[in-house]
Chain A
Amino acid sequence: MIMDTQLASLLTAGALIVIGIFGTLFLDNLIKKVISLAFIGDGANLFLIAMGYKAGGIVYIFLPGMSMSEFSQNAAYPLPFALVLTSIVIGASTMAVMLGLIIVLNKKYGSLSASKILGDN
């Protein structure tokens, strides 16, 4: 293995966030802007879940027959997994509202250009 899985995930998360920020700043199409924002959110989520990674870890369910010390030494950290689910749901709902607003504004302006719709008004 060339690179540790956790490090690879963290680097991917960083790349996603940077690409997302770049897209949000420089793309004019509103739909593309929203996709870039999704990149930022996904990067943060990936980062969060990579925090719970443990090399060679086992699923954090205490099964009968397992010794307690073996479980406590090998189980992965469960908290980030639970948190990231909530965070994904929040991101999805925010995006739904954004896309809904874009539909309304597209009807009003007949365009998807951010500089035209979201200019100084």
Chain B
Amino acid sequence: MSTENLLIPLMIIIPITCALFLNLLHEKSRVVKIISVIVALLLPTIPLLANYGIQYFGGYAPLAQNPTIATGLPTFITGTALNIFHPAITYVFGSAQKLMITILGFVALFAIFISLYEVKKPSGVYIYLILMGVASVMAMLLSDDIFNLYVFFEIAALTQVGIVLVSKVKNNYETALKYLIVGSIASPMLLLGIALLLGVTGNVNITDIVYSIKTGLVDPHSPVLLMACSLIVFGWLYAAGLPPFHTIKSAMYSKALPTGAAVLQAFSVFTFVALGVIIIRIFSYLHFAEIFILGISLIAMVLGITMAITQTDFKRLIAFLAVGELGYIGVGFGLGTVFGITAGLFQAVNEAVITALLFIGFGTIMYKTKETELKKLGGMLVETPKSALLVLLAGLAMAGVPPFNAFQSKLMLVQSSLNSGLPEVAIIMVLLSIVTFMTFMRAFHTIYLRPKPADLVIENENIPKVTIVAMVCLLIICLVFGLYPQLATNYLQGLAMGIA
């Protein structure tokens, strides 16, 4: 395994540097456009080109692999567990990270392109926020250091607030402040959990923490560790927007621009995965942690999808559906088998793409009419036949209709829950998929199929070509993963086997 892979740190460094640079130039729209296009194109290409490897930031490889430093050190360092501990911030880039970071890069790429071409004067600040968020979520996926993850978790939370603040949607400031207040309760709890882990194991590197627990250097059932587990799980609920945070998370999505909502949900999905993987890696020996993840995922599915049906604003409706679909990923994690975790990770990748497609697709309605209330809309099929078709296909994909990708991952989830002897979970998942489809069809019917209300004004005539192209590209990703699921699962299986 090569440790000299420069592309791994560049995945994080390029977006952050360019983001800071763009923020300075936010009046010069031409320069902003050129730089944004280049960085956006780099986002998915760097992870595609990078080799698998490990990167040590601000330190060096463990002494066991590093004889030049290890020679001459006393035996109470080289002869103990210190010899294999990681004295650096470690970034691990494996096959699962490669797939997830590439997908995140693609979602961000399309969001940036659309936001550049939908407005006359592109805003450097908005692109800055998207790039900063993408870089921090990528870092969370890569990082093997739990405190480094916490830092990027906070940066991601602040950028999410920023994305909502620049949207100019009604009442966005109030929602942003609510999110910050709720977040300021939850993230110190996550920090407290990390502090407890640090206190017990003396480490922040996850591999070393797992080593300490597995080899009995610390007592695995000490109450402090149980407390740490519960606090980290609480932080995870906040980061992912699972209940009780589902209302604020869906409000955040609905107060952002469509492109903003598309990247926000991708952030939540991959933050969910990053923290969920860590919880399973460290605490999988606690059987109750898995039961809890399964339970909270079922609650998220039921609450998210039933709340979605009753919404009257289509952005909020999609937002609640997005929160509900997160539960499917959690079910895969909660089952705890290799097959289940692979299915959960696959569902995460699929959901990031499909929900982004739905947000962008319904965003075209907002672009044309500046209206989000369902009861004021209608007859849009005549106005936007192309995007209507794409939105319909996206809805079918979300509900898990073949040949799209979510069908494959939901099928895998159902199979793995049957294998684990929990047919009830499978039944609930299928039932909620049907309700998801019904919810989507209700919105689709009201917006596109029923007669157009007389007072509905069309403000913008043509949808930009780049929006349609972006939607087609996202749909192609859905189709490819739906027809060849091995393409994704082969990448994800390694991580699932490592943590199950």
Q: Do chains A and B touch in the complex (CB under 8 A)?
A: yes
**A interface residues with partner B (beta carbon < 8 Å):** 17, 21, 24, 30, 33-34, 37, 40-41, 43-45, 47-48, 51, 68-69, 72, 77, 79-80, 83, 86-87, 90, 93-95, 97-98, 101-102, 104-105, 108, 117-118, 121
Give the distance in Å from the alpha carbon of A117 to the alpha carbon of B165 in the complex: 16
A interface, by DSSP: helix, strand, loop or mixed?
A: helix
Which B residues are CB-close (under 8 A) to A48?
191-192, 194-195, 198
Q: How far is the CB of B248 from chain A (nearest CB, A)?
A: 11
In the complex, the 9 A-B pairs of residues with the closest C-beta atoms, listed nearest first: A44-B188, A37-B184, A48-B195, A51-B199, A90-B154, A101-B177, A44-B191, A40-B188, A44-B192
13 residue pairs from A and B, CB less than 8 Å apart: A24-B185, A44-B192, A45-B191, A80-B195, A83-B204, A87-B150, A90-B151, A97-B161, A98-B177, A101-B176, A101-B177, A102-B177, A118-B178
Known: A40-B184, A83-B204, A118-B178. 11 other contacts (CB 8 A): A17-B188, A51-B198, A51-B199, A79-B202, A87-B150, A94-B183, A97-B158, A97-B161, A98-B184, A108-B173, A118-B181
Which B residues are CB-close (under 8 A) to A101?
165, 173, 176-177, 180
Within 8 A of A (CB), among B163-200: 165, 171, 173-174, 176-178, 180-181, 183-185, 188-189, 191-192, 194-195, 198-199
Which B residues are CB-close (under 8 A) to A43?
188
Which residue on chain A has the smallest CB distance to residue B199? Answer: A51
Which B residues are CB-close (under 8 A) to A90?
151, 154-155
Instruction: Find out whether the CB atom of A94 lies under 8 angstroms from the CB atom of B180.
Output: yes
Q: Does B314 contact A (CB under 8 A)?
A: no
Q: Mark B248-279, 1 if CB is under 8 A from A, else 0.
A: 00000000000000000000000000000000
B interface, by DSSP: helix, strand, loop or mixed?
A: helix
Q: Mark B191-216, 1 if CB is under 8 A from A, else 0.
A: 11011001100101000000000000
Which residue on chain A has the smallest CB distance to residue B76? Answer: A72
Give the distance in Å from the alpha carbon of A16 to the alpha carbon of B320 in the complex: 35
Instruction: Find out whether the CB atom of A79 lies under 8 angstroms from the CB atom of B174.
Output: no
Instruction: Find out whether the CB atom of A41 lies under 8 angstroms from the CB atom of B161.
Output: no
Instruction: Find out whether the CB atom of B173 lies under 8 angstroms from the CB atom of A104.
Output: yes
Give the distance in Å from the alpha carbon of A15 to the alpha carbon of B122 in the complex: 48
Which residue on chain B has the smallest CB distance to residue A48? Answer: B195
Q: How far is the CB of A42 from chain B (nearest CB, A)?
A: 9
Q: How far is the CB of A101 from chain B (nearest CB, A)?
A: 5
Which A residues are CB-close (under 8 A) to B74?
68-69
Instruction: Find out whether the CB atom of A117 lies under 8 angstroms from the CB atom of B174.
Output: yes
Q: How far is the CB of B452 from chain A (nearest CB, A)?
A: 29
Instruction: Determine which residue in B151, B165, B184, B202 has the highest number of CB atoms from chain A within 10 A of its CB, and name it.
Output: B184
Give the distance in Å from the alpha carbon of A99 to the alpha carbon of B490 in the complex: 47
Instruction: Find out whether the CB atom of A21 lies under 8 angstroms from the CB atom of B185.
Output: yes
Q: Does B147 contact A (CB under 8 A)?
A: yes
Instruction: Find out whether the CB atom of B181 lies under 8 angstroms from the CB atom of A121.
Output: no
Which A residues are CB-close (under 8 A) to B188?
17, 40-41, 43-44
Instruction: Find out whether the CB atom of A51 lies under 8 angstroms from the CB atom of B195.
Output: yes
Give the distance in Å from the alpha carbon of A34 to the alpha carbon of B189 in the complex: 16
Instruction: Find out whether the CB atom of B195 lies under 8 angstroms from the CB atom of A93.
Output: no
Q: How far is the CB of B69 from chain A (nearest CB, A)?
A: 15
Instruction: Find out whether the CB atom of B181 lies under 8 angstroms from the CB atom of A24.
Output: yes
Contact status of A86 and B184, CB under 8 A, knowing A44-B195, A51-B195, A68-B74: no
Give the distance in Å from the alpha carbon of A69 to the alpha carbon of B177 in the complex: 52
Which B residues are CB-close (under 8 A) to A34?
181
Which A residues are CB-close (under 8 A) to B76?
69, 72
Give the distance in Å from the alpha carbon of A45 to the alpha carbon of B147 in the complex: 13
Which A residues are CB-close (under 8 A) to B165?
101
Which B residues are CB-close (under 8 A) to A95?
184
Which A residues are CB-close (under 8 A) to B173?
101, 104-105, 108
Give the distance in Å from the alpha carbon of A44 to the alpha carbon of B184 in the complex: 11
Q: Tell which of B171, B176, B184, B202 touches A77, judged by Cβ atoms closer than 8 Å.
A: B202
Instruction: Find out whether the CB atom of A121 lies under 8 angstroms from the CB atom of B174.
Output: yes
Contact status of A33 and B198, CB under 8 A, knowing A17-B188, A44-B192: no
Q: How far is the CB of A61 from chain B (nearest CB, A)?
A: 17
Give the distance in Å from the alpha carbon of A118 to the alpha carbon of B248 in the complex: 12
Which A residues are CB-close (under 8 A) to B177?
30, 98, 101-102, 105, 117-118
